[in-house]
Structure 1
Amino acid sequence: MAALQFPCAIFTTQNRMDDYHAKDMRCGDLTEAQLKSQYRLDYISDRVDPWTLTLRSSMDRPQSMFCCNLRGQGEKVTRQQCATMLFDEFRSLSRKFSLYGPYSHLIEKMITHMQNGNGTPFRDMSLDRALKEQIVRDISERNSTRILLSKAFRTNIDWESKHFPIENRDRLRDAVLSGKLPKFDRFQDNYNGMGITVHDTWATHITIKSLHIANDRYRAVVHYKVQDHFGLDSDDILNTKFSQFHFFRIWFVLQRYNQFGFKPFMTNMEATVEITGGCYEI
């Protein structure tokens, strides 16, 4: 039997990398009338009114998110000043989603990238570290792609010939499909900054970089490339779980209002993990 050659890509999601046509990558495509009528975004900010470009006071705040009182005539600001104030509020409101931990700084950094980055992709070593930590610390026998791949290696390696048969390649893909791809939807991600910066992911590629077999043991080097979109689509803002927060309302308006149109961006992260095991391990 022929041996599988490495590096070897074993898994890619249906969602493709760098998909700038995805719904959450749209920007500057909605009018004030649409944002108000279709998305109920009359009241956006406690600091400034993006529709009239006037500063707010405490007298302007609605009694609830669904009911707006008459707005006072505040001091006028330019559209650029308004956007700057909204981004400052955006960052301030983000802190309730990133209370502690080594990744708590990321959301403010990514908001600033949205403000100044003009849609360019975002990379940060902290994201790579978070991804690797998530993969390595996932010890679920049913969900961990790392653990499921380890079983696939052990049961499909030709131990006598000391290689992985090419005809068993799909067993590696099946192992990934039977598990859960790395995401940041754990309880702690609601507070450590990863749930708000990434949470779910858009596209994942998994590649076996190398596989060494000797003395009834194997060592595989596996590379994960993951991409998410820092952007909102209509379903996000129409979900009351999100729309109740000024954080998401400001985000949506900054991204989708045709007078702002700040570009969402790709969030890229990568991690390389080592998987080892033996012929006789259970």
Structure 2
Amino acid sequence: MPALEFPCTFFKSRKRMDDYNADDMRCGDLSEAELKSQYRLNYISDRVDPYTLTRRSSLDRPQSMFCCNLRGAGEKITRQQCAIILFGELRSLSRTFSLYGPYSHLIEKMIDHMQNEKGATFRDAALNRALKEQIIRDVSEEKSTRILLSKAFSTGIDWERKNFPVENKDRLRDAILSSKLPKFDRFQDNYNGMGITVHDTWATHITIKSLHIDNDRYRTVVHYKVQDHFGLNSDDILKTKFSQFHFFRIWFVLQRYNQFGFRPFMTNMEATVEITGERNEI
């Protein structure tokens, strides 16, 4: 029977890569009236009012985030000045979600990217390290992609011919379908910067780059390509867990308000891991 040839991309998630038509990739599509009536985004910032383009004082702050009884108009500013102030506030507020760790700096880099790079794809070596670490440290027997792939190789290899038969390819895909794809939704991700920068992911491709079989042991190299969208969709901001934070309210207005329209962007990550095992390992 024919053997599987490598490299072989055996898994692609249902959501596709580079999907610029996704709802969270929209920008500049909502008016002031829509933001206020549909999303209750009346009070956005403690520093400026993006609708009237005026600076705020402490007297402007409402008792409730859903109330907007301003006590007086402040200094007029330009739209560009307003955006700069809002991005500065966004950076300041982001520190609540990135308190410690080697990835805590990423959110400010990504905010800078949104402000200045007009939707260009974002890549960073720290994101790749975070992805690889997440894959390697996931030790769940039932949900780890690495562990489930290891089992699929142990049972799917033709040990006599020392290859992986094409007819067993579905075992690899089934292993991924029964797993939990790499994400950053663990408890620690709420504070280490990964939850706010990536959290869930949009699309994943997994490729077997090579397979070496020696006696009753094997070694395979697996490549993960993962993409996320650094953008907010309508459902996000309608959820209390997002809308209660000024951080997300400012982000949504900067992205979706037709007077700003800062572009969201694709976040690309990749990691290569080695998986080893032996015959009859299970």
Instruction: Give the alignment's TM-score, normalised by structure 1.
Output: 0.99
1:179 maps to 2:179: yes
Tell me the SS of whatever aligns to 2:123.
coil
Separation of aligned partners in 2, 1:47 and 1:180: 41
The 3 A distance-change label for structure 1 pair 192 and 245 is same
In the other structure, the counterpart of 2:205 is 205
Runs (5+) with no aligned partner, structure 2: none
Aligned AA for 2:38?
Q
In the other structure, the counterpart of 1:163 is 163
In the other structure, the counterpart of 1:142 is 142
Shift of 1:72: 1.2
Tell me the SS of whatever aligns to 1:5.
coil
Shift of 1:180: 0.3
Describe how 1:52-131 pairs up with structure 2 within 5 A.
52-131=52-131
Shift of 1:70: 2.5
Aligned AA for 2:96?
K
- How many pairs align? 282
Separation of aligned partners in 2, 1:118 and 1:72: 35
Shift of 1:69: 1.9
- Bigger Cα displacement from structure 2, 69-78 vs 177-186: 69-78
Separation of aligned partners in 2, 1:132 and 1:147: 14
Separation of aligned partners in 1, 2:99 and 2:33: 36
Shift of 1:280: 3.4
Tell me the SS of whatever aligns to 1:84.
helix
1:18 maps to 2:40: no
In the other structure, the counterpart of 1:216 is 216
Shift of 1:149: 0.2
Percent of aligned pairs with the same amino acid: 82
Runs (5+) with no aligned partner, structure 1: none
Tell me the SS of whatever aligns to 1:6.
coil
Tell me the SS of whatever aligns to 2:188.
helix
Separation of aligned partners in 1, 2:277 and 2:70: 68
Shift of 1:71: 3.8
Shift of 1:73: 0.9
Separation of aligned partners in 2, 1:52 and 1:169: 60
Separation of aligned partners in 1, 2:244 and 2:49: 17
In the other structure, the counterpart of 2:273 is 273
Separation of aligned partners in 1, 2:280 and 2:180: 26
Tell me the SS of whatever aligns to 2:45.
coil
Tell me the SS of whatever aligns to 2:192.
coil
Aligned AA for 1:91?
R
Instruction: Give the alignment's TM-score, normalised by structure 2.
Output: 0.99
Describe how 1:235-250 pairs up with structure 2 within 5 A.
235-250=235-250
Runs of 4+ in structure 1 displaced over 6 angstroms?
A: none
Tell me the SS of whatever aligns to 1:147.
helix
Shift of 1:224: 0.1
Tell me the SS of whatever aligns to 1:229.
strand
Separation of aligned partners in 1, 2:167 and 2:73: 72
In the other structure, the counterpart of 1:231 is 231
Shift of 1:156: 0.8
Aligned AA for 2:224?
Y
Separation of aligned partners in 1, 2:249 and 2:4: 50
The 3 A distance-change label for structure 1 pair 42 and 71 is farther
In the other structure, the counterpart of 1:255 is 255
Tell me the SS of whatever aligns to 2:181.
coil
Tell me the SS of whatever aligns to 1:192.
coil
Separation of aligned partners in 2, 1:209 and 1:70: 60
Aligned AA for 1:210?
S
Separation of aligned partners in 2, 1:62 and 1:160: 74
Describe how 1:188-199 pairs up with structure 2 within 5 A.
188-199=188-199
Deviations 1:54-93 (A, max 9, x none): 0000000010112222241100000000000000000000
Tell me the SS of whatever aligns to 2:40.
coil
In the other structure, the counterpart of 2:9 is 9
Aligned AA for 1:266?
M
Aligned AA for 1:10?
F
Tell me the SS of whatever aligns to 2:127.
helix
Deviations 1:214-266 (A, max 9, x none): 11110000000000000000000000110010000000000000000000000
Separation of aligned partners in 2, 1:215 and 1:77: 73
1:43 maps to 2:43: yes
Deviations 1:14-33 (A, max 9, x none): 10000000000000000000
1:28 maps to 2:37: no
